[in-house]
Structure formats: structure tokens, C-alpha cells
Structure 1
Amino acid sequence: MATNRTEQYGLHLWEPGDDFLREEFNENFSRLDLSARVVSGSYTGNGAAGQHIELGFWPASVLAAREDGEITVSLSRTGYGGLALRDRPVKLSVNDQDTVVAVDPSGFTVFSRESSNQSPRGNQSGVRYHFLAVQG
């Protein structure tokens, strides 16, 4: 059996002479599997009203921005990205049509509506965006 545990995750640590138990390894792997995971990547907007970005997990937060770093132009109320949390999407206003980025159980969705100057543009056709997603 392991003599010690790590401070942060409580993983088993073995000293010379300790016996190894399969259960301890399995417990370590289970704890690591539940720990925070950070994924970064990019996508290219397709111009549709919405585009789902599949991550394979439900992120606690997603930060998305245009490749040039633009997130929001506050004077024109045009949104190109932002920090979305579970149950707290990035919106330009309380209007659901103004959602820019929303987190969901398998990733996140970005939205575009280019019919006016005051609109979400998180999925502009041909525009490259970068994101950082944290599982928690």
C-alpha cells in the first residue's frame, strides 16, 4: 500500500518497499479523470446562424475571440466572442437573438446574425476564431 498522498489531488505515492495495489492505481486514474482539463483550439466561421463546436465534455467556461483578438466593440454592440459560463452565455443584451457564445453539455455554440450593426458575430463566414475551454 502507498505510504503517502499528493497534496493537491490526494493521489497515492509509494515509497521504496511499499506494495502496489491495483485499486490504488485505479483510484489515482479516477481522480485525474475528474480533475480540470483545459482545451484550446480554433474554428472557422461558416456564416450560419449557429455553429456547434464539439469538445466531448461539458465545459465550465469557454473564452472565444476572433483571430485578431477582437471580442466586443461596445459602441456598435457587435460581439465577436467573450467568456461564456454554464448558464451564463455571452449576450449583447437580454434578447436571446443577441447570444454570441453559449456553453452546452458537449461543447459550445457560436452564433452570428449579420442583419444589423448591433448583432452577434461569433460565426462570421471565413473568419478564424480561437477558443480556450475549461472543464470543471
Structure 2
Amino acid sequence: MASNYTTNYGLCQWEPGDSFVRSEFNQDNAKIDAALKDLEDTKAEQAALSSLSATVSGKASQSSVNSLSTAVNQKCRMKAGTYTGSGSATGDSQTISMGFPVKAALVETTDGQRPYSSSRGITGGLILEGAPLGRNADYPLGKISGSSLVVYKQPESQGSLNSTNTTYYYVAFG
């Protein structure tokens, strides 16, 4: 039997007068095998960590992601929805905020019909930035104002996009 053992792993150290015992060799070999396996696992973990670190370093910085997000948000936007007319008198207006600068909007009544007659006027249509919808400039039915759509109640002969309790659909593009 060994009379001394190593400091770090407790492996057998024999002196000249010690007798050799096979089980001591087997125990030492098992300890060495376990230590080598731990070392191999640690190296594999370090390699995986280095690979992950390199992958993360290759990703875009947050400022680059923010810049790209801003660029995407500046592309065409769309919003669709409904509103209920609130105008009871000629010239009553309602402003519908879109949350982005509007370039064009399409407004229709819920039934989608546009039965035009000289006595009924316009009940829906396309509104462009700088080109309000209406039969004449004195009676605008809808216009774009920055990031909002403004709709008006006008005399029946002109039409209306803001008649009391009438539901309208809109789609706005920016």
C-alpha cells in the first residue's frame, strides 16, 4: 500500500518499502480519467462560449437596429378604421388623428353606396394632401391636415363626410 498521496488529486505515491496494490492503481486511473474528462468538458465549454461571443460580436449594434427601425417607419404607413359623424350644422368639422403624416385617405359610408344627384351631393371619395374633396372650394367635405383627416358637414346639395350618427369607413396612407 502507498504511504504517501499527491496534494492535488490524492494519487498514490509509493516509497521503496511499500507494496503495490492493484486497487490503488485502479483508483488512481479513475481519478486521472475523471480529471481529464473535466478538462475536456471545460475546454469544450470555453470553445462554445468563444463561438457564441464571436456570433454576438457579429450582430448589429443597437444604434444600427434603431436606425433601421426609423428608416422602415418612414416608409408608407396605413391606418384603417371607422368614425361616426358628429356634424349637425353646415361647416361642423371632426378631426381624426392618424398618428403619422397623411398623404391620402379614402372615405366611404358603411353601405359603400354613392348615389350621386345634384340634390344629394358627395358622400365619399379620395382625399389627397393638397387636394381636398368637395364639389367646390367653398364647401370642403374632407381634407388632410398634417397627421389628421378633417371631415365636414355641408349643405345636403354639397354632400357630407360628417353627418350626425352616420358611420364612415376610412383608410389613410402616409
Q: Does 1 or 2 have the higher relative contact order (CA < 8 Å, sep 6+)?
A: 1
Provide runs of 4+ in structure 1 moved above 2 Å. 74-77
Alpha-carbon separation, structure 1, partners of 2:115 and 2:94: 19
| Aligned counterpart in structure 2 of residue 110 of structure 1, from 140, 148, 151 | 151
- Give CA deviations for 1:25-68 in whole Å, capped at 9, x if unaligned: 12221211111111000000012411111112221100001111
Alpha-carbon separation, structure 2, partners of 1:37 and 1:71: 27
SS at match of 1:91: coil
Greater Rg over alpha carbons, structure? 2
Alpha-carbon separation, structure 2, partners of 1:72 and 1:86: 25
Deviation at 1:91, TM superposition (A): 1.3
State the AA in 2 paired with 1:112: K
Gap runs ≥5 in structure 1? 1-15
Do the aligned residues in 2 keep the contact of 1:77 with 1:118 (CA within 8 Å)?
yes
- Give CA deviations for 1:51-86 in whole Å, capped at 9, x if unaligned: 111112221100001111134615436111210111
What TM-score, normalized by structure 2, do the two folds share? 0.60
Equivalenced residue count is: 116
What TM-score, normalized by structure 1, do the two folds share? 0.75
Alpha-carbon separation, structure 2, partners of 1:56 and 1:32: 15
Q: Could you say which structure has the higher helix fraction? A: 2
- Does the alignment pair 1:126 with 2:165? yes
Gap runs ≥5 in structure 2? 1-54
CA RMSD of aligned residues (A): 2.1
